[in-house]
């Protein structure tokens, strides 16, 4: 019997079920491979030496699930600056790691009525 367009085969359904059940394990494997291949360290070393519980920029709780924790590094090297949440890591990347762009953005927000709220 030919498959109709959009129909999932038995193997595809089994694979999808396995991926859903093992998504946490897949995330852990992705992190392990990334740490070993890019930084030359094990997840144990990462957790022991670098993993704070909260993002040092925004204060959000850091998690290893769903790519919530990012390793901030000096581009062009593997020198680690710190561990950030996804959003703060993206913010630094969008600002091209330039502190003057970030200061200008803060001044812009402040001049347009956005109140600066300290992070606790």
Contact 35, 70 (CB under 8 A): no
Token pair of 3 as six digits: 């498959």
Contact 72/97 with Cβ under 8 angstroms?
Answer: no
H or E stretch covering 73: strand 69-73
pTM (whole model) above 0.75 = no
Element (H, E) at 105: helix 99-111
Q: 21-72 pLDDT, tens per residue?
A: 566 567 677 777 888 888 888 877 877 776 668 899 999 888 766 567 888 8
Could you state, in order of their start, the residue ranges of all structural domains in the chain? Answer: 10-92
CATH number of 10-92: 3.40.1800
Write the pLDDT tens digit of every residue in 1-14.
Answer: 454 445 555 556 66
């Amino acid at each position: 019997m030919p498959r109709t367009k959009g129909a999932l085969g038995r193997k595809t359904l089994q694979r999808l079920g396995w991926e859903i059940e093992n998504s946490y394990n897949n995330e852990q494997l992705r992190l392990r491979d990334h740490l070993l291949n890019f930084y030359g360290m094990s997840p144990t070393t990462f957790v022991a030496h670098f993993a704070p519980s909260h993002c040092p920029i925004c204060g959000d709780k850091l998690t290893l699930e769903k790519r919530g924790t990012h390793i901030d590094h000096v581009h062009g090297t593997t020198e680690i600056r710190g561990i950030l949440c996804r959003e703060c890591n993206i913010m630094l990347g969008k600002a091209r790691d330039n502190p003057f762009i970030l200061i200008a953005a803060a001044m812009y927000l402040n001049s347009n009525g956005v109140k600066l709220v300290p992070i606790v």
